[in-house]
Amino acid sequence: MCGIVAYIGHREAYPVILKGLKRLEYRGYDSSGVALINNGLRVFKKQGKVAELEETLVGKDLHANIGIGHTRWATHGEPCDRNAHPHVSRSGKLAMIHNGIIENYMQLKQDLVKKGYEFTSDTDTEVLLNFIDDIHSNNGGELEEAIRIALKRVVGAYVIVVIDEDHPDTLIAARKGSPLVIGIGKGEHFLASDASPIIEYTKEVVYVNDYELAIIKSDELILKNLGNEKITPFITKLDMELAAIEKGGYDHFMLKEIFEQPNTIFDCLRGRLDAANGSITMSGIQQYAEQLTTASRIIIIACGTSWHAGLIAEYIFEEVTRIPVEVEYASEFRYRNPIVNKGDVIIAISQSGETADTLVAIESAKEKGAIILGVVNVVGSSIARTSHAGAYTHAGPEIGVASTKAFTAQLAVLTMMALKIGYLKGTLPEKRYMHLLTELNDVPEKVGAALLNKENIERIALKYKDATDALFLGRGYNFPVALEGALKLKEISYIHAEGYPAAEMKHGPIALVDNKLPVFFVATKDSFHEKVLSNMQEIKARKGKIIAIVSEGDDAANSLADDLIVVPYADELIAPIINAIPMQLIAYYIGVAKGYDVDKPRNLAKSVTVE
Ligand code: AGP
């Protein structure tokens, strides 16, 4: 996620901003920049790490007591120098940094182009800045008034900080949906996305709320709403230490990212899913709708957790589009001399967008004439750039090595793709289509509800933390969820675990069952429910320890399971996103209980860039 830092006061602004940006590096980014005012506006920005930006500035005159800085996590426009922030208005007087997504930026851009505006970047930020600039130059009033007018007309999430060469004593900031903290110093103020760049200077902070605007001088902070009414700033005292703040108060990035999922899934759906009007807007998919609706088969290529997302997508795509789907481990596909025909549709799923096995696999398929659609989290990554089109998952940077929020965002994107294609093809009846859109729209809330289980899940995790083996079982859409649960447990707690279709147990693996073996059943209400209960009976008969994930209101498993984890009911096609949550938490709590580094498990890397 982007990071913002700003300063005004008696210190040199540049060192404060630079150090602050380094404190925000944990948020993940691809570019950085600073803007300073001293005898004019000066902007320095580039793709790459903050340290690389710092290197280019050695020896330059960076004296200033006011400045803004930014680390960019690309959402609109590839990572490159010209898309980095701060952006500068056409007038050359204003510089702005922004964290968030302006959803109606294309409309605003078209209006500005008609007025003769030209743009140097592909970003929504530059559009918003020039929208402000246009209002400011036409109204002739205060800059803060122009910002207020502009923000009333934008749709989306933002935190912005603007500086004006003609008013070098003032920072103007505003927020809606993205975080902004103001540090109150003596004759100085600090702004940042979170408290980590601020805490070493002051523990007195103001958390700016949505639809609030801050006009900040070195010795004055004025807070207003968009109706220009003054608001009394509520000053609180930070009681956290720096290290904790970077994790947003969570003990680990993995836990933070698990709990971010209601928001990250919402962000993934936002601007795309309109359940009320029955529409799914995915420009990257729309341009290949013809090829997708007429495809004779779809090949999904991925690794690890992303491969599990692909397995769930296989069930969904085949159900609603009736197109045969094959899911391939990238490493196997690449070296098997696969049959790839011109026009075959390949969906590459990857959080990092840099997994070598997946990248190499799609490069070879592309050479054979296949159409590559990427479902990727990192904007501008190699897999994204190699794909003909696709859809970003917008889960924000995933710092924990174990993929959690990226996995559920992948499922949200893949589900939207399948529903869109099924509806276009006419293989998904309108009534079911509308029902599934509503079900998908309800997922963020249901994931939030599933997370409320955390104490019960932690209790269960502690009960089985000393197991040496575990099984994860499910059927239908829940079978790949079982596989994902097994992988999470393996990679986080180092306990050997296997996932199976529940009905497969009688073909051999049931020999493993004894009165010590924990068997996790993903047994939410679906069309396989009766059969899963029978499979549960088979395990119980052999004294296996059963932990069942069940739907709210379904007590069918109560007499069979030793432990129950209750999650909100959802249509079976949508349920995997919700059912993944307990899987993630079980692995997390066991890993922590065993004293392991759950953010950086042994032997693992976040991005496997070697084949
Ligand atoms: C996920 O928990 C694992 N860390 C790993 O399996 C990962 O999913 C796999 O390496 C693929 O990575 P990608 O999604 O970045 O391509």
Amino acid making up residue 70:
H
Please report the atom of ligand 1 found closest to the CA of residue 401. 4
Rounded Cα distance between 143 and 151, Å, is 12
Non-local CB neighbours of 95 within 8 Å, separated by 6+ positions: 35, 41, 43, 68, 86, 87, 88, 89, 162, 163
Is the peptide bond preceding residue 179 cis, with omega within 30 degrees of 0? Answer: no
The answer to whether residue 605 is domain-embedded is no
How many domains are there within the chain? 3
Among the ranges given (159-168, 231-240, 256-265, 575-584), the one the predictor scored with the smallest mean pLDDT: 231-240
The pLDDT of residue 141: 82
H helix or E strand, kind and range, residue 34: strand 31-37
Which of 301, 382, 386, 403 for a ligand 1 pocket mutation test, highest count of atoms within 8 Å of Cβ? 403
- Between the CA of 352 and the centroid of ligand 1 the distance, in Å, is 8
The answer to whether residue 44 is domain-embedded is yes
The pLDDT of residue 283: 86
If DSSP codes are grouped into helix, strand and coil, which group holds residue 88?
A: strand
The answer to whether residue 611 is domain-embedded is no
Among the ranges given (112-121, 388-397, 561-570), the one the predictor scored with the smallest mean pLDDT: 388-397
H helix or E strand, kind and range, residue 70: strand 66-72
Non-local CB neighbours of 148 within 8 Å, separated by 6+ positions: 213, 224, 226, 228
Placement of tokens 């004779």 in the chain: 296
The answer to whether residue 608 is domain-embedded is no
Please tell me what DSSP assigns to residue 66: E
Rounded Cα distance between 57 and 42, Å, is 12
Q: State which of 441, 474, 491 marks the end of a domain.
A: 441
The answer to whether residue 66 is domain-embedded is yes
Q: Report residue 485 as tokens.
A: 């649960």
Q: Are residues 134 and 231 in the same domain?
A: yes
- The average pLDDT across 147-167 equals 95
pLDDT in tens, 51-100: 999 999 999 999 999 999 999 988 778 889 999 999 999 999 999 999 98
Q: Report residue 403 as tokens.
A: 């993929």
Ligand 1 and 164: CB distance under 6 A: no
Rounded (5°) CA angle 147-150-156: 110
Which of 305, 378, 600 for a ligand 1 pocket mutation test, highest count of atoms within 8 Å of Cβ? 305
Ligand 1 atom 3 nearest Cα: 402
Rounded Cα distance between 291 and 187, Å, is 62
The pLDDT of residue 467: 97
Q: Are residues 517 and 380 in the same domain?
A: no
- The average pLDDT across 262-281 equals 94
Please report the atom of ligand 1 found closest to the CA of residue 358. 16
Ligand 1 and 400: CB distance under 6 A: no
The pLDDT of residue 279: 95
Rounded Cα distance between 347 and 339, Å, is 16
The pLDDT of residue 245: 66
Rounded Cα distance between 15 and 186, Å, is 18
- Between the CA of 248 and the centroid of ligand 1 the distance, in Å, is 24
Q: How far apart are the first and last CA of the chain?
A: 28
If DSSP codes are grouped into helix, strand and coil, which group holds residue 466?
A: coil
Q: How far is CA 309 from the centre of its chain?
A: 15
Q: Are residues 377 and 508 in the same domain?
A: no
Ligand 1 and 384: CB distance under 6 A: no
Q: State which of 244, 261, 279 marks the end of a domain.
A: 244
Ligand 1 and 350: CB distance under 6 A: yes
Catalytic residue among 217, 224, 465, 606: 606
Ligand 1 and 121: CB distance under 6 A: no
C-beta neighbour count of 398 within 10 angstroms? 25
- Between the CA of 575 and the centroid of ligand 1 the distance, in Å, is 21
Please report the atom of ligand 1 found closest to the CA of residue 487. 2
Rounded (5°) CA angle 406-244-220: 105
The answer to whether residue 34 is domain-embedded is yes
Rounded Cα distance between 24 and 474, Å, is 40
Rounded Cα distance between 490 and 470, Å, is 9
Please report the atom of ligand 1 found closest to the CA of residue 302. 16
Placement of tokens 């990092």 in the chain: 352
Catalytic residue among 2, 256, 268, 420: 2
- Between the CA of 303 and the centroid of ligand 1 the distance, in Å, is 6
pLDDT in tens, 545-575: 999 999 999 999 999 999 999 999 999 999 9
The pLDDT of residue 269: 94
Backbone angles phi, psi at 554, to 5 degrees: -105, 110
Ligand 1 and 584: CB distance under 6 A: no
Ligand 1 atom 10 nearest Cα: 304
Q: Are residues 229 and 349 in the same domain?
A: no
Ligand 1 and 303: CB distance under 6 A: yes
Ligand 1 and 331: CB distance under 6 A: no
- The average pLDDT across 341-363 equals 92
pLDDT over 70 at 218, yes or no:
yes
- The average pLDDT across 132-150 equals 93
- The average pLDDT across 326-353 equals 93
Q: Are residues 70 and 213 in the same domain?
A: yes
pLDDT over 90 at 519, yes or no:
yes
Mean pLDDT, rounded, of the chain? 94
If DSSP codes are grouped into helix, strand and coil, which group holds residue 94?
A: strand
pLDDT over 70 at 611, yes or no:
no
Could you tell me the CATH number of the domain that includes residue 518? Answer: 3.40.50.10490
Ligand 1 and 377: CB distance under 6 A: no
Percentage of the chain modeled with pLDDT above 90: 83
If DSSP codes are grouped into helix, strand and coil, which group holds residue 495?
A: coil
Please report the atom of ligand 1 found closest to the CA of residue 355. 16
Q: What does each C-alpha distance from 65 to 9, 13, 170, 190 come to in angstroms?
A: 6, 5, 11, 12
pLDDT over 70 at 39, yes or no:
yes
Catalytic annotation present for 2: yes
The answer to whether residue 479 is domain-embedded is yes
- Between the CA of 253 and the centroid of ligand 1 the distance, in Å, is 16
Q: Are residues 216 and 256 in the same domain?
A: no
Ligand 1 and 398: CB distance under 6 A: no
pTM above 0.75, yes or no: yes
Q: Are residues 405 and 287 in the same domain?
A: yes
H helix or E strand, kind and range, residue 97: strand 94-102
Non-local CB neighbours of 228 within 8 Å, separated by 6+ positions: 145, 148
Q: Are residues 218 and 315 in the same domain?
A: no
Please report the atom of ligand 1 found closest to the CA of residue 303. 11
Q: Report residue 389 as tokens.
A: 């089109």
Please tell me what DSSP assigns to residue 287: T
pLDDT in tens, 424-434: 999 999 999 99
Is the peptide bond preceding residue 86 cis, with omega within 30 degrees of 0? Answer: yes
CA torsion, points 297, 306, 498, 595, in degrees to nearest 10? 180
* Higher-pLDDT residue of 141, 516: 516
- CB-CB contact of 521 with 554 (8 Å): no
- The average pLDDT across 22-30 equals 85
Could you tell me the CATH number of the domain that includes residue 141? Answer: 3.60.20.10
Which of 329, 331, 349, 351 for a ligand 1 pocket mutation test, highest count of atoms within 8 Å of Cβ? 351
The answer to whether residue 446 is domain-embedded is no
Q: State which of 209, 227, 244 marks the end of a domain.
A: 244
Q: Are residues 54 and 168 in the same domain?
A: yes
Ligand 1 and 608: CB distance under 6 A: yes
Quote the domain boundaries for residue 56: 3-244
Q: Are residues 505 and 590 in the same domain?
A: yes
H helix or E strand, kind and range, residue 169: strand 167-176
Q: Are residues 261 and 359 in the same domain?
A: yes
Q: How far is CA 34 from the centre of its chain?
A: 25
- CB-CB contact of 281 with 294 (8 Å): no
Q: Are residues 270 and 308 in the same domain?
A: yes
Catalytic annotation present for 268: no
Q: Report residue 227 as tokens.
A: 């109706």
**Regarding beta strands 235-237 and 273-274, do their DSSP bridges make them parallel or antiparallel, or are they unpaired?**
unpaired
- The DSSP line for 316-367 is HHHHHH---EEEEEHHHHHTS-----TT-EEEEEESSS--HHHHHHHHHHHH
Ligand 1 and 395: CB distance under 6 A: no
- The average pLDDT across 394-422 equals 94
- The average pLDDT across 445-471 equals 97
- The average pLDDT across 40-45 equals 97
Q: How far is CA 190 from the centre of its chain?
A: 27
Ligand 1 atom 7 nearest Cα: 304
Ligand 1 and 170: CB distance under 6 A: no
**Regarding beta strands 181-184 and 189-192, do their DSSP bridges make them parallel or antiparallel, or are they unpaired?**
antiparallel
Ligand 1 and 355: CB distance under 6 A: yes
Ligand 1 atom 9 nearest Cα: 304
The pLDDT-based confidence of 244 (bands split at 50, 70, 90) is low
Which of 328, 352, 382, 586 for a ligand 1 pocket mutation test, highest count of atoms within 8 Å of Cβ? 352
Ligand 1 and 382: CB distance under 6 A: no
Q: What does each C-alpha distance from 189 to 71, 148, 226, 376, 404 come to in angstroms?
A: 20, 22, 22, 38, 36
- The average pLDDT across 163-174 equals 97
Give the dihedral sign, CA 440/445/448/450. Answer: negative
Give the dihedral sign, CA 480/486/489/494. Answer: negative
- Residue 352: closest CA among 72, 83, 610, 4: 610
